[in-house]
Amino acid sequence: MSTIELQKLTKEFGELTAVNNVSLKVEENEVLCLLGPSGCGKTTTLRMVAGLEVATSGDILIGNNNVNNLDTRDRNLAMAFQFYALYPSLTVAENLANPLHAENLSDDEIKKKIFEVADILQLKDIVNRKPHQLAEGEKQRVAVGRAIIRDPQCFLFDEPLSRLDVQLREQMRGQIKEVLSDLKKATVIVTHDQLEALTMATKIAVMRDGFIEQISTPHDIFAKPNNTFVAGFIGTPQMNILDCNIIEINSSIIKINTLGQEVNVDFKNPLNVNTNESYFLGIRPRSFEIVDNNDSDNFSGTIDLIENMGSEILVHVKINESTFRSVLSRSHKLKIGDSINLKPKIGQVHLFNKDGKVIRDE
Amino acid sequence: MKKKAIGHAGWLWTGLASVVAFIYFFPVLFIILTAFRSRSDTLATPPKWFFTPTFENFYHIFFRAMANSTEYVSTGFHVYFFNSIYISGMSVLLALLIGTLAAYGFSRHPLRGNDTYLFIILTTRMLPPIIVIVPIFLIFRITGLAGTYTGIILMYTAFNLPFSIWMMKSFFDELNTEIEDASRMDGASERSVFFGVCIPQVKAGLAATSVFALILTWNEFLFSLLLTNKLTRTMPPAMARTIGGEINVDYGLLAAMICLFIIPIFLITYLLQNQLLRGVTFGTIKK
């Protein structure tokens, strides 16, 4: 069975704890993205799964077998590396064939497999070239090809797309997703690019400072962040996180004081909060709608700055010397200095306590 | 591939460069010319630039006229020449073998206090050899290593090791460790990672390290003078011993010896020069 399970995995480098008590499970056919800023321990976690790094404590189970004491080559995994790790002196075909040498296949079988992989990844025209004669995108495909040519238990990808330019990245994201869904194996992808994670993963684990902050589906990570870190890390432009005070609770409608304004916010469901306490209010820039009149359920301020984002505009709204940001359709004819009224969309507003933890519906 | 011109230096700079190159080469040229001069031509003042070349100096390296007789006897110089090649070759190979393994260890499996160990290894090269010669001489006397091939080879190996370790470590440090990890994923053992993946990538480093170590060993004088005997003596002290005696310094003979002496090192450097150039410029032209 192709599963990967980590139990209380910890890795210390001297004083530094790179990975702290990480537990997670990747089921068969599931693609888990380890997502986080650089230095959060995601690559170290992946390397421990691969056996390239020895865990300080905790267990790694692959296909329900404890592999703590197995060497890399005995774990039956395949991995694609960030810098592709192609053997510089070998041709593409030889690079692809390399993982097969341990399997004692005949020459014909090896050729057949190379042909299959070259076909899937469109490498047929370049099988006789050497790595230095390849473009970045081609190198990347060879690296993926080398990972999928065998039939390992699980797949590991370390920042597979980070070295590609934006266009190529978009194209490869789709291709890799397609390849992965055909493989039906437990897969772990490490990335710092949230778009990559949101599009390719079936499950995302957001990491910070060695801890897992949240594991959920891409939808839930975006729509129901567990804390202010996840809320701020996922989604561009970043979520507005504002200090606020609760004045009055009226079922799901809560009157809060933020940026010196009192606003009635509809949370869709009642929340377990107390009046006269401080919280963080989280609203994504796209969760505002523009309204004509200044009412008790909207923010009103003046436009401080407008950034053009193509089909949309990013508006910096200033209220009492503080600003927050909102993404609006470019059809609104706005200019700097205009006053503007913005109403948060119902159910798209998040409330966090002062420790940064989300307050969920009751 | 077509060679790219880096820039076009004018005639002036080219001319200047040849002048500087000639100044550097002049002592060597003078030695070569002296080797082919007869004894009277050698001592002529001002130096004779045009003369009839003779091989008599080269003959006298190997055969010397006995006093009061016309008989020629062997000087045993072919033995010293062989000793130099054998001792330098063996010690460079040993230093390279041990040094490469140690460097790989230092680079890939750092110990607690790795840098301290590396520093300590280098400290042995921070003092002039003359300071340690007395204890080493005594150790060699007591252990019976004095005058043996084993002794002097071990001495030179120890002499070359710090340099080999440091140099090879920097080459291993430069490698992309992902390729090693990838071959581990592909089922390679640690041994095949080292021999199959790392060593082929540091060929230039091995060439550069061996040439530098060879030059150091080949020219070494002091240890050889004190730790070898008549049978294991290398070229540098053997050449020095021809100075003095009833004819004082026979410059022609000495020059001929030097000519022979530089041939092996010249050939090896020439054969390895492509690797050497890549080796010494490794860090700057990578990627």
User: pLDDT by residue (tens digit) across A295-336?
Assistant: 888 899 999 999 998 889 999 999 988 899 999 998 888 889
Q: Identify whether residues B69 and B84 lie together within a single domain.
A: no
* Closest approach of A95 to chain B, Cα-based (Å): 10
Identify which of B181, B187, B189 has the shortest CB distance to residue A99: B187
B148-194 pLDDT tens trace: 999 999 999 999 999 999 999 999 999 989 999 999 988 888 999 99
Tokens 């978009």 map to which residue?
Answer: A170
Q: Identify whether residues B60 and B187 lie together within a single domain.
A: no
Predicted local distance difference test score (pLDDT) of residue A104: 82
Q: Identify whether residues B180 and B248 lie together within a single domain.
A: yes
Predicted local distance difference test score (pLDDT) of residue A161: 85
CA–CA dist A49, A186 (Å, integer): 12
Residue B2 has pLDDT above 60, yes or no: no
* Closest approach of A310 to chain B, Cα-based (Å): 37
Confidence band for B67, pLDDT divided at 50, 70 and 90: low
Is residue B156 assigned to a domain?
Answer: yes
**A241-352 architecture in CATH?**
Beta Barrel (2.40)
A83 touches chain B (CB under 8 A): yes
A75 to chain B: closest CA residue: B185
CA–CA dist A204, B178 (Å, integer): 25
B261-279 pLDDT tens trace: 999 999 998 988 887 777 6
Q: Which of B52, B74, B96 is the last residue of a domain?
A: B74
Residue A17 has pLDDT above 90, yes or no: yes
Q: A99 contacts in B (CB within 8 Å)?
A: 185-187
Q: B185 contacts in A (CB within 8 Å)?
A: 50, 72-73, 77-79, 99
Nearest to A2 by CA among A28, A22, A32: A28
Q: Which of B41, B74, B107 is the last residue of a domain?
A: B74
Helix/strand/coil percentages in chain B, nearest 5: 70, 0, 30
Mean pLDDT of A281-302: 90
Percent of chain A scored above 90 by pLDDT? 55
A101 touches chain B (CB under 8 A): yes
Predicted local distance difference test score (pLDDT) of residue B5: 52
Number of separate helices (H) and strands (E) present in chain A:
8, 20
CA–CA dist A151, A164 (Å, integer): 26
Residue A3: both structure tokens together: 């599963």
CA–CA dist B266, B261 (Å, integer): 9
Which residue of B114, B186, B195, B278 to mutate against A (max A Cβ within 10 Å)? B186
B231 touches chain A (CB under 8 A): no
CA–CA dist B84, A117 (Å, integer): 56
Q: Identify whether residues B68 and B88 lie together within a single domain.
A: no
| Mean pLDDT estimate for chain A | 90
Q: Which of B54, B74, B94 is the last residue of a domain?
A: B74
Predicted local distance difference test score (pLDDT) of residue B76: 80
Q: Where in chain A is the domain with CATH 2.40.50.140?
A: 241-352
Is residue B197 assigned to a domain?
Answer: yes
Q: Identify whether residues B68 and B81 lie together within a single domain.
A: no
How many structural domains are present in chain B? 2
Contact B187 A52 (CB under 8 A): no
Residue A287: both structure tokens together: 């969760």
Predicted local distance difference test score (pLDDT) of residue A362: 57
Q: Where in chain A is the domain with CATH 3.40.50.300?
A: 4-233
Mean pLDDT of A160-173: 84
**Is A186 in a helix, a strand, or coil?**
strand
Residue B12 has pLDDT above 90, yes or no: no
Q: Identify whether residues B43 and B159 lie together within a single domain.
A: no
CA–CA dist A95, A131 (Å, integer): 9
Q: Identify whether residues B171 and B259 lie together within a single domain.
A: yes
Predicted local distance difference test score (pLDDT) of residue A347: 85
Residue B69 has pLDDT above 80, yes or no: no
CA–CA dist A106, B23 (Å, integer): 63
A102 touches chain B (CB under 8 A): yes
Predicted local distance difference test score (pLDDT) of residue B254: 87
Q: Identify whether residues B30 and B95 lie together within a single domain.
A: no
Is residue B267 assigned to a domain?
Answer: yes
Mean pLDDT of B69-81: 81
Domain boundaries, position B24: 11-74
Predicted local distance difference test score (pLDDT) of residue A216: 94
Is residue B2 assigned to a domain?
Answer: no
CA–CA dist B188, B170 (Å, integer): 24
Which residues on adjacent β-strands are paired with residue A211? A208
Residue A248 has pLDDT above 70, yes or no: yes
B175 to chain A: closest CA residue: A85
Q: A72 contacts in B (CB within 8 Å)?
A: 181, 184-185
Residue A265 has pLDDT above 80, yes or no: yes
Mean pLDDT of B61-82: 80
Phi and psi angles of residue A104, each rounded to the nearest 5 degrees, phi first = 55, 55
Q: Identify whether residues B187 and B46 lie together within a single domain.
A: no
CA–CA dist B103, B168 (Å, integer): 6
Average the pLDDT over each of A18-32, A150-164, A254-268, B233-247 and give the range with the smallest value: B233-247
Contact B200 A89 (CB under 8 A): yes
A73 touches chain B (CB under 8 A): yes
Contact B185 A73 (CB under 8 A): yes
Predicted local distance difference test score (pLDDT) of residue B198: 92
A162 touches chain B (CB under 8 A): no
B7 or A141, which is more confident? A141
Is residue B178 assigned to a domain?
Answer: yes
Predicted local distance difference test score (pLDDT) of residue A344: 92
Predicted local distance difference test score (pLDDT) of residue B169: 94
CA–CA dist A157, A89 (Å, integer): 23
Burial of B139 (0-12, 13-18, 19+ CB in 10 A): middle
A80-136 pLDDT tens trace: 998 888 988 889 999 999 888 878 888 899 999 999 888 888 888 999 999 999 998
Q: Identify whether residues B22 and B150 lie together within a single domain.
A: no
Q: Identify whether residues B64 and B168 lie together within a single domain.
A: no
Q: Which CATH number fits domain A4-233: 3.20.20.140, 3.40.50.300, 3.40.50.1970, 3.60.21.10?
A: 3.40.50.300
Contact A98 B186 (CB under 8 A): yes
Contact A101 B197 (CB under 8 A): no
Query: Strands A278-283 and A288-291: what pairing?
Result: unpaired
| Start-end of H helices in A85-234 | 92-97, 107-120, 136-148, 166-183, 194-200, 218-223, 228-233
Confidence band for B195, pLDDT divided at 50, 70 and 90: very high
Contact B201 A88 (CB under 8 A): yes
Mean pLDDT of B79-91: 94
